[in-house]
């Protein structure tokens, strides 16, 4: 007597990769459409997983090139362009054998996916550091220097001294650690991608908190960037303490 499809579905759901291969063979001749659909579903999932691991292998190229280094740290920032809020930098050291599926440039991920990956990175990373420069500091020394300052802070807060920094496109002045700047590094290095997610989620959460104390600007939605709604609110309500005065001069009288 054939097993019920619900039972077979449960078998597939509980099986690991090796056990699933046995299930494919066992039910290959089962002509029921529901069973064949289950087989195809899990085969597609395995193919997607295979491709994802191949993609991640390419994103570990720079890490593999410098595998003689004990601590390889990825660095990235979030918030260079907004009209309001700080610029935030993330520094992340991942274990050599660390696998975080779907890790990517934070801009290519949904907010929900970034939140999930943030938790996984915090759980699996050997060290994480976060630095930031306030709007007032950005106005004082300019956004580029403020970004460098936030990055140096992030490195200092790691708790360990990296042997190498993999940076998203920049070389950070004032650090004696060897650096490798990588153009579009958040899409080419797992370490930089992890840092980009840490920086982005940290900053986004902060902007949501600002919305609570400074309502009317929509910080939770646009995160301080120059959206139409933000500019209209700025013209109507004026600047707040978290606005960058050097950025908003063209938008207010």
Segment 140-195, tens digit of pLDDT: 999 999 999 999 999 999 999 999 999 999 999 999 999 999 999 999 999 999 99
* Alpha carbon distance 228, 223 (integer Å): 13
CB count in 10 Å sphere of residue 17:
9
Q: Quick check: 1 pLDDT over 60? A: no
Which one, of 167, 159, 198, 202, lies nearest residue 183 by Cα?
Answer: 167
What is the phi/psi pair of residue 56, to 5°? -65, -35
Instruction: State mean pLDDT over 63-74.
Output: 96
pLDDT, tens only, 39-55: 899 889 889 999 999 99
Share of residues in the chain with pLDDT > 90 (%): 81
pTM of the model: 0.90
Tokens 């004032």 found at: 174
Q: What is the pLDDT of residue 31?
A: 86
d(CA 251, CA 188): 36
| CB-CB neighbours of 107 under 10 Å | 11
């Amino acid at each position: 007597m054939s097993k019920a499809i619900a039972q077979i579905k449960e078998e597939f759901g509980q099986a690991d990769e090796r056990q699933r291969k046995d299930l494919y063979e066992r039910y290959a001749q089962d002509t029921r459409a529901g069973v064949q659909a289950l087989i195809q579903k899990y085969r597609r999932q395995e193919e997607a997983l295979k491709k994802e691991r191949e993609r991640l292998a390419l994103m570990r190229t720079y890490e593999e090139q410098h595998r003689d280094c004990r601590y390889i740290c990825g660095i990235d920032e979030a918030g260079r362009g907004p009209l309001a809020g700080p610029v935030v930098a993330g520094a992340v050291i991942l274990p050599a054998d660390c696998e975080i599926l779907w890790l990517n440039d934070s801009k290519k991920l949904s907010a929900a996916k970034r939140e999930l990956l943030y938790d996984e990175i915090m759980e699996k990373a050997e060290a994480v550091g976060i630095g930031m420069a306030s709007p007032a500091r950005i106005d004082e020394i300019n956004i580029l220097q403020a970004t460098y300052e936030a990055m140096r802070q992030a490195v200092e807060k790691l708790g360990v001294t990296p042997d190498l920094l993999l940076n998203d496109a920049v070389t950070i002045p004032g650090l004696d650690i060897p650096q490798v700047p990588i153009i579009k590094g958040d899409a080419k290095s797992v370490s930089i991608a992890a840092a980009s997610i840490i920086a982005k989620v940290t900053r986004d959460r902060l902007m949501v908190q600002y919305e609570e104390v400074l309502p009317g600007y929509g910080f939770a939605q646009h995160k301080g960037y120059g959206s139409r709604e933000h500019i209209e609110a700025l013209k109507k309500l004026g600047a707040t303490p978290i606005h960058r005065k050097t950025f908003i001069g063209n938008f207010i009288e």
